Structure 1
Amino acid sequence: MQRNYIRIVLLTAMALLTITVIVLLAKGSSEEIPEHVIQLEPSSEPIHIRVLFEQNPATEAQVSWTTTAEGDNHILYFDTEPRGGEASAYRFSSEDIHSGKYSLRPEEEGMDSWYHHAYMSNLEPNTSYYVMVETDESKSDEYYFITAPDDDRSVALLMGGDSRVGHSRIEEDNNRRKMNERMKQLFEEHPHILALAHTADYTNRAYWSELYWWLKDHYETTTASDNRLLPIIPSRGNHDLDVGFEEKFYWPNRENDFYYATQINSETVMIVLNTEISISGDQKDWLEQTLKEVRPNNRNVAVMFHKPLYPSVRAYDGSERRRRAWGPLLEEHGVDFVAVGHDHALKRTVPILNEKADPNGIVYIGDGGLGVSTREVVSDRWYLQSPGMTKSAYNVHFVEFNEDHIGITAFGMNGDVLDEFMIPADREERTSYYESILQAVSSR
């Protein structure tokens, strides 16, 4: 009896062991290293060269690059005249470089890479800065960027978000690169474009094996043919919560958790908010104080963040907390428009005040179409009815701040115009215009 019992126990244990081995083998085979996790050869050659703008793009910028070897000496050379990459010819240089190793997950072994951030201050407004970077005598080509104006000349932004892609991230013709090519064409056609204001969600997760490809795509497919770099004005979304995001978008002595105000020209401010932290408390207090300060002194005040107040795809009730927290403040201070992402579509709402169509209201644009797979929109929502619009489409917004109006044009992946809208600068003229387009629809 006891011998049979022992035999049953042993057989059961062997069966359990066999099942465990099978499960582990199956798990191991299903967790093969993804294609985007590649082995990087150690090199001091600068790659991923880029420019970051935040609060004062007329006088501050940050030039960043990546190397796959740590390196000992990192230098930024810069000048207001092209120097053809001759290091000794540049009038200015900086070795005050913030460097560090990108955080890696265990499966990213072999992708060792280092970030290098060169902060620049006391720059001249509306000026071309020619830059070259160096790590251990490995030098980049010469590139340039243009600082923001400090007067009221016309200036433009490219606006959009959700540029994350899935398995296609390593492909040379993925949708993110296609949208980048569209932005590059606009950038070359409209030299007064200052930067890409990104409404967040750059990659599926802010892991280095994904950020590597995003930075590669941005550098390779948005840099103009004359080596002008397209600066980035960043915001943070729900797919950007890992430490790699902070390593990629480091800024010295950052005051807040990725919410700030950017002075685009002397009459235009864009407020950037963070939907991934508390929307009340410190951020809401900061928003209220900032609106009080900038609204009286600027003709144009725009706001950018990731998750919408008025979604085109997701549940309306899911945005209620944000509408309650931020909506009344934005309306009280007469914000001109709000740009968002998150829903993977295209939209422009009717002017909204107190959650109703109103000629004194705010227009919301978005909804994130820079490469991520698009979603079907819910087109019968009241705020998306004509004169508003929505569509399942890849898109980027070209937003132009002029003396008498803000022009907004949404372009599709193939360069087709998907939407056009104008916001008059004069408030009485704007109200009259909004009233006319709302009445035109209601009288049909």
Structure 2
Amino acid sequence: MSTPRNAPGRSATHPADDAIWHRVTRELSDDLAADAPVRDRAGKAPFDEVARLQEAGLPALLTAPGADPRGTRRRGTGGRATDRRGADWRAASAVVREISAADSSVGELLAHHYVLSWSSRFFAAAAADGALLPLDTCTADEQWLLAGDVEPLRAESEAAAWPGLTLTPAADGWLLDGRRAFASAVAVADRLVVGARQGGAGDWLVVLVDPAHPGVFTEPGTDRVGQRLSGAGTVTFDRVPVPAAHVIGVLPHDEHAVTPFAALAPLALRLLLAQVALGIAEGALAEARDVNRAGHAGPHAVSPAGGPGSAVDPEPMATGDDPYLLLAYGELATTAHAASAVVERATDALARALETGPALTPEERADVAVLVAAAETLTGRAAVRITTRVLELVDGAEGADVRGGGPGFDRFWRNARALTAHTRPSHRLRDIGDHYLNGTHARLTLPV
């Protein structure tokens, strides 16, 4: 049953200081990893997880970077004065990846939050009126957790069959109506960032909505295969007022009017979700390694005399000396390293594109799109392969059975499958091949 969303209380923690944000992230990651299997089994809305994020200051840290517009100097978590806010793309990617290794649902939540914080950068350039809401500044100042999504541009036939969200002019702004599903944090977010079409036609407006309004109803996503704690759900908007001051930007209906810089928005989200997938793979591999290092050999431990599970050798060798186990870990570690290298290259390319800003050219955006597609494809395959193989490596190992309260390695596989199920590797590879062979640019519109 649909129920109005009530926001939990928030702490007043400031963004982590530059000198200690690595430690803050590591401490939070360790904290999340300690009870990740228990929380995954419970499958509750991530209010507790968000409280931990707020206490650490990560939502405020993970906003688009820039100087404090008020010209004031803040005190970071470590007490040192700073006149900067937010985190640059590389730093934010590192945070998302490390958190995802511990709890990929929380990593996905942070990925959506960070990309949405860039909305006023991506879409304000298309508006004739420059007096739009600076979302990154507001998010950092108010320490909001953002959720939502910007409606992709669709063909007219699709728009008629699935109209999405609409805005109707009102005296002091707009009225928002409609219903749509969101992948992350809608049950726990402080603000929603959504795209809606004016009167059902024309350009999309990107607007900020308070989910605590009585006209906003949230149905949490339940019985999910994986990513159970990401806070996914469906939201219904019933004549929700949107003041003109809460318009963040404009996404033109005409795809030829979409700037290459605005078209980075979907690439940014796809790449951060690739970081989440890579975090899943690395987290699964590290936890499996810890089990095997402890000497808890499963039924696949082998001896040179008798092979897997053989009774020929009454005293099997120690797990750490098992050549087949070493081979398996060598292959999986190499898979993770290869995916990491491609992701890092794409991360650097996107960071440079974001630094370029509105001056970004279509050619530069196309080069970034190819690298993101490659990163997305490789990490998706690596995450599924590694998490599947890890289940075999720890099968029967002491403490590895989720039913007995152990680490629950099945959650890594379920999370990897849920995260990557919507991607289409064949489409990505086709785009890469078309660009490599023919120099074709990917479309600038937001993909469906």
TM (norm. structure 1) is: 0.23
Structure with the bigger RCO (C-alpha within 8 Å, sep 6+) is 2
* More strand, by proportion: 1
TM (norm. structure 2) is: 0.23
